[in-house]
Amino acid sequence: MSEAVTPLNGADFEGLATIKDAGLSGMITLRGDLASKEVKAAVKKAVGLGIPLQRQALSGQGTAVLWMSPDELLLLCAYDEVAQKIAALEKALEGQHFLAVNVSDARTVLRISGTGARETLAKLCPVDLSPGAFTPGMVRRTRMAQIPAAFWLDDSGVFYLICFRSVADYAFGALKDAALPGGEVGVYG
């Protein structure tokens, strides 16, 4: 077995916000009929969580479920538990029309925290990130500068951003640039 590493290899930057490689993360794309009792039961079995509402996330102990589209969820878990979770999904969904794929090595996760986190993201994404509009538990898939990205906000005010592994360096550089001291806008107070 080769040793898995993230593309950013633990990079971090402290500026108006703290941008950090979130480390290896298990990610499973699950597509199917999100309204069906079978998918509901399978997700419960695999990660112990329910089906989130449109553009919402649910999180548990080391696991999370993100609503990605009307027929797509992203399941997060420990990196080395992916195979076992997929096996559980496949068993629970046998005979159903579904897709469960390990995308852990195709994506990477960045952690954006600190008082400037909202502003840093808002400089790069066409999204209203004011505290009243973007609240904890929300997920947004959007454009970050020149790449597609998805992020969600946890209850402690930390953003987690997912992008393709191949553009991890670009994502980190863009976020770092947006968080450089001296570039404060102060739009969110």
Size of the site for another protein (CB under 8 A): 13
- Kindly state whether residue 135 participates in binding another protein, applying the rule CB under 8 A: no
Cβ proximity to another protein, 72 vs 154, nearer residue = 72
Of 124, 140, 160, 168, the residue at the interface with another protein (CB under 8 A) is 140
Q: Tell me how far, at minimum, the Cβ of 68 lies from another protein, in Å.
A: 7
Residues in CB range of 117: below 8 A, 6 or more apart: 17, 18, 157, 158, 159
Cβ proximity to another protein, 91 vs 97, nearer residue = 97
Q: Tell me how far, at minimum, the Cβ of 35 lies from another protein, in Å.
A: 15
Residue 114 in contact with residue 18, Cβ under 8 Å? yes
Strand locations in the chain, DSSP E? 12-14, 18-21, 26-31, 57-59, 64-69, 72-77, 99-102, 107-113, 139-144, 147-153, 159-164
x/- binding map, residues 113-132, to another protein, per CB under 8 A?
A: -------------xx-----
- The site for another protein (CB under 8 A) is made up of 54-55, 68-70, 72, 126-127, 140-143, 148
